[in-house]
Amino acid sequence: MSEWIVSADRIENFARLKEAGADAVLIGTDFYSARAMACIALSDYPKAKQEAQRLSLKLYVLMNRMFAETELDAMRAHLHLLKELDVDGIYYGDEGVLWESMRLGMQDKLIYHPDTLLTNSYDVNYYLQEGIQRVVLAKEITLEEIKQIAHHSIPSRIELLVHGRVNVMHSKRWLLSAYMEHLGKPCDLHARKDLAIIETKREEAMPILEDDLGTHVFSGYTLASFEELDELLEVGYTHFRIDGIFYDIDWVCEALRLYRSVEAKESKGREVFRSYAQTHREAHVGSGFYYKKTGLHKG
């Protein structure tokens, strides 16, 4: 049984996501969540839980902030709240969250999502043995490596981000504000999703977002995995995520329906990829690192 996880922007849209084929929704909130599609007020979390339950959707929350020493009380309070709410999963990247969850006996809620760090089955197995629910693989490994990892670990407890702009860099610094300050321009670029950078010798426009958690740079392409889905299912992967940051709920629903149709063998992944890339030219649809090997030197 596969599980399709999608980012959600509003509680009111859970029903639409369900209708498009979602099994789980992922929500974020200010302070605790890095790179959420949208932030939902903490006071609305009970309502989110209720709505998810009503629709038989799992409710996952992003808690992937890096916590400073002075923020540990907030970390603990948040874990208590999430335990009480009985959310279905908590994405984290800071080992402090793992430690505090262990103390609360709730590590089975955790989904380790360190963006770049999980690149092999040894590390996957290490974290799964800690009793957490699931891990999310890095996006910078090849399809072949992803398949190898499935053979050497438990693919049903590994999640793959299959669709969306992928995070390339997270700095704690406010790099856009610093640059504007340097130029002496009174320009507020904080929390804006319409900004991009292009390296001066290249063409690729990479979205850049500065918010309270720092600065995040995203891939110039939008990852799509229609063509690889069959192979991923075949080796035992079951958890797939679509991330709609920089897009809207229609966009998420459309992609989800297409994946569902490929999974149900109603359409062919390769053809879906081609037509999707055609109709979404502005998104620069690509295959990420599936077929691109990285190394130590220039390729």
Q: Quick one: 35 or 49, whose CB is closer to another protein?
A: 35
CA dist 13 → 6, 70, 84, 90, 127 (Å): 11, 35, 24, 20, 33
Q: Which amino acid is at 296?
A: L
Please, what is the minimum distance in Å from the beta carbon of residue 20 to another protein? 29
Which of 78, 160, 168 is CA-nearest to residue 124? 160
Distance (Å, whole) CA 81 – CA 72: 14
DSSP, res 28: B
Please, what is the minimum distance in Å from the beta carbon of residue 122 to another protein? 3
Cβ atoms of 63 and 91 within 8 Å: the answer is: yes
> Can you give the C-alpha Rg of the chain in angstroms?
19
Q: Quick one: 67 or 273, whose CB is closer to another protein?
A: 67
> In what helix (H) or strand (E) does residue 74 lie, and over which residues does it extend?
helix 72-85
Cβ atoms of 209 and 249 within 8 Å: the answer is: no
* Residue partners of 108: CB distance under 8 A and separation at least 6: 131, 132, 133
Please, what is the minimum distance in Å from the beta carbon of residue 294 to another protein? 4
Please, what is the minimum distance in Å from the beta carbon of residue 130 to another protein? 9
Q: Quick one: 7 or 219, whose CB is closer to another protein?
A: 219
Q: Quick one: 77 or 195, whose CB is closer to another protein?
A: 195
Residues recorded for the chain: 299
Please, what is the minimum distance in Å from the beta carbon of residue 157 to another protein? 16
The tokens describing 264, both together, are: 């149900």
Please, what is the minimum distance in Å from the beta carbon of residue 249 to another protein? 21
The count of other CB atoms within 10 Å of the CB of residue 108 is 11
Distance (Å, whole) CA 167 – CA 216: 7
Q: Quick one: 41 or 68, whose CB is closer to another protein?
A: 68
Q: Quick one: 275 or 294, whose CB is closer to another protein?
A: 294
Please, what is the minimum distance in Å from the beta carbon of residue 179 to another protein? 5
Q: What is the DSSP string of 209-277?
A: EEETTEEEEEEEEEE--TTTHHHHHHTT--EEEE--TTS-HHHHHHHHHHHHHHHTTSS-HHHHHHHHH
Q: Quick one: 142 or 267, whose CB is closer to another protein?
A: 142
Give Dmax (Cα) for the chain: 56
Please, what is the minimum distance in Å from the beta carbon of residue 202 to another protein? 7
Q: Quick one: 55 or 197, whose CB is closer to another protein?
A: 197
